Structure formats: C-alpha cells, structure tokens
Amino acid sequence: MREIVTLACSDCKRRNYTTTKNKKKTTSKLEFKKYCKFCRKHTLHREIK
C-alpha cells in the first residue's frame, strides 16, 4: 500500500528527495525540513505530484 512520493524544495522548487507514504493513513501532503544542496540550507520540502 505504500507509494513513492517526491519531495521538492519550497524555495528553489527542485526535486531533491523521494520517500514512501501510506496513502490510506496519510491523506494530506507530506512536509519535512530537509537540507537542500542547491540552496545550501535547511528548507521546507513538500510532496509534489
């Protein structure tokens, strides 16, 4: 039931990370504070389509 989702930086909009999520239990979009190597700082990364 887990599906692969892509996380994109909210500042530069680049797709940096992939992760998995359970679509039945987590219906909202994932958000993590992760390091962006392009911005060279920790930024909010959101799930994209």
CATH number, domain 2-48: 2.20.28.120
- What pLDDT was estimated at residue 49? 79
- Could you report the per-residue pLDDT of 1-49, keeping only the tens digit for each? 899 999 999 999 999 999 999 999 999 999 999 999 999 999 999 999 7
In sequence order, what are the residues at sequence separation of 6 or more whose Cβ sits closer than 8 angstroms to the Cβ of residue 17?
A: 6, 7, 32, 34, 45
Question: Cα 45 to chain center, whole Å?
Answer: 4
DSSP string, 7-32: EEETTT--EEEEEEEETTT--SPPEE
Q: What pTM, to 2 d.p., does this model score?
A: 0.86
Residue tagged 């909010």 (tokens) = 44
Ranges of each domain in the chain: 2-48
